[in-house]
Amino acid sequence: MAMVRPLQLAAGVTLWREYFARPVQQEIVETVMRLAQSAPFYRPLMPKTANPFSVEETNFGPLGWLAEPGGYRYAPQHPVTGEPWPAIPDMLIEPWRSVAPFPQPPECCLVNLYRAGAKMGAHQDRDEDELGAPVVSVSLGDDAVFRFGGVTRKGPTQTVKLSSGDVLTFGGPSRLMFHGIARVIAASSDLVHGGGRINLTLRRVTKA
Ligand code: MD6
Ligand code: FE
């Protein structure tokens, strides 16, 4: 894969622009949509309020990340079908091996589907026991405005545009930083059939 010009956005935050070329992006989207036939996208509910997310989600791998009125957790089965999640495709394990300096493989690939108008509020990824591993994030389809700050909600933020094929890693001193998707720029890409954006985040959940 292209390993050209990684950008260091902050300590522990690295962006590889267009890590995946267009034909590979197409293959990944086809694979995601095929796996989503057996592990369908669903709309998670916010803890406490039970408000539905604007993004739709599914997971691949031995553990899937769930948001439910009772809280956030990892679970081995799809909450709607009760079936185990499909395995993480090799083409998504590859960037973890190449860019994440971490010996164990990822256990969760959370899939976020942003159709028209979907966004994601500021949050921390902190439901993993293994915080020594980075999160590796793959963007596909429409451009997104990604905003990130520090490990508290206060203080300065940076904004970066994530485009189709980009890979972002997020670890070390930034592993618990707040971040979110302020908006997705509709129709900026024609990669995703029906329009929108797919984000895949690879995480190690348990300590080896
Ligand atoms: C998104 N990404 O790009 C949402 N989390 O749609 C995330 O929430 C995220 O990109 C942890 C690390 C990298 C990310
Ligand atoms: Fe996140």
pLDDT by residue for the chain (208 residues), tens only, comes to 555 679 999 999 999 999 999 999 999 999 999 999 999 999 999 999 999 999 999 999 999 999 999 999 999 999 999 999 999 999 999 999 999 889 999 999 999 999 999 999 999 999 999 999 999 999 999 999 999 999 999 989 999 999 999 999 999 999 999 999 999 999 999 999 999 999 999 999 999 9
Report how many domains make up the chain.
1
Ligand showing the shortest atom-to-Cα distance for residue 161: 1
> Which atom belonging to ligand 1 lies closest to the Cα atom of 135?
12
C-beta of residue 136 within 8 angstroms of C-beta of residue 100: yes
Output the CA angle 165-103-101, nearest 5 degrees.
50
CATH of the domain at 33: 2.60.120.590
Residue-wise pLDDT for 69-124, tens only, equals 999 999 999 999 999 999 999 999 999 999 988 999 999 999 999 999 999 999 99
Residue 136, domain extent = 7-203
Mutation pick for ligand 1 pocket among 54, 199, 203 (CB with most ligand atoms within 8 Å): 199
C-beta of residue 113 within 8 angstroms of C-beta of residue 57: yes
Which residues contact ligand 1 via a Cβ below 6 A?
A: 112, 120, 125, 135, 137, 144, 146, 168, 170, 179, 181, 199, 201
Alpha helix stretches (DSSP H) within the chain: 22-38, 90-99
Ligand 1, atom 13, lies closest to the CA of 137
| 152: in domain | yes
C-beta of residue 58 within 8 angstroms of C-beta of residue 36: yes
| 157: in domain | yes
Give CA–CA dist 26/159, Å, rounded: 26
Strand-pair partners of 161: 145
The H or E element spanning position 74 is strand 71-75
